[in-house]
Amino acid sequence: MPETNTKDAPDLKTDSDSNSNSKWSKEIINIIIGIISGILCLIYSIYLFKKEDEYGNNKVKGTIINSLCTEHKTRKNRIKWDCSLNIQYNIDNIQYSNNNFKSDNSRKKYIDGDSIDLRYNANDKTKITDNTFTNKTLAIILIIASIFIIVIPIMWYFLVTKNKTLATVSSSLTVAGAGVGVGTISTAGIGAIGKVINR
């Protein structure tokens, strides 16, 4: 009986297997980026909780006696106003005034007689700010944002493993695009909040 040569069929990897591995690696990288960005947000929120707020939650309504506002446009072509204001306000039946209060990047053009929301320093009531967000409020916003930044990539990963349509969409996204998007959101958010705090 003649011998027959049998060869094992080569173990070929299909394109779908390769794309699948690439797809899951992308999703895992996005999860890692999301976790890192979320942790950065959490760290900054802890810093805000511990940072002493010069003005605390001491709020007062001021009245604008005189105003001088200059218009400028942002990169997104939005109109903002830089205003120099003469403000009067009352605390504990004592009247205070600030003849050269600066309100920069305001959405509103203040005019004489307008009211303005302020916070003041309890130890020196002549010190005021029109930034009405306390450090704790900003910290809470950051904590909520960090939860979304961490959870969304994880949820997306599990969704694409169960849904072929989503998996196809996911495979068309680049890691760079998704990573830059998450990083930009967290970095821009922290940067904007930092500017508000130092205002």
- Domain span at residue 182 reads 16-51+135-197
In a domain, 1, yes or no: no
Question: Within a domain: residue 153?
Answer: yes
Number of domains in the chain: 2
Q: Which of 27, 101, 22, 28 is nearest to 69 (CA)?
A: 101
123 & 153 share domain: no
Q: Are residues 63 and 124 in the same domain?
A: yes
92, 111, 129 — which closes off a domain? 129
Is the pLDDT reported for residue 108 higher than 50? yes
The domain boundary residue, chosen from 98, 129, 160: 129
Question: How many angstroms separate the CA atoms of 170 and 19, rounded?
Answer: 11
CA distance 16 to 161: 14
Please write the tens of the pLDDT for every residue from 136-182: 888 899 999 989 988 888 887 777 777 655 555 555 544 434 444 44
- Residues 40-89 have pLDDT tens digits of 988 998 888 888 788 888 999 999 999 999 998 888 888 999 999 999 99
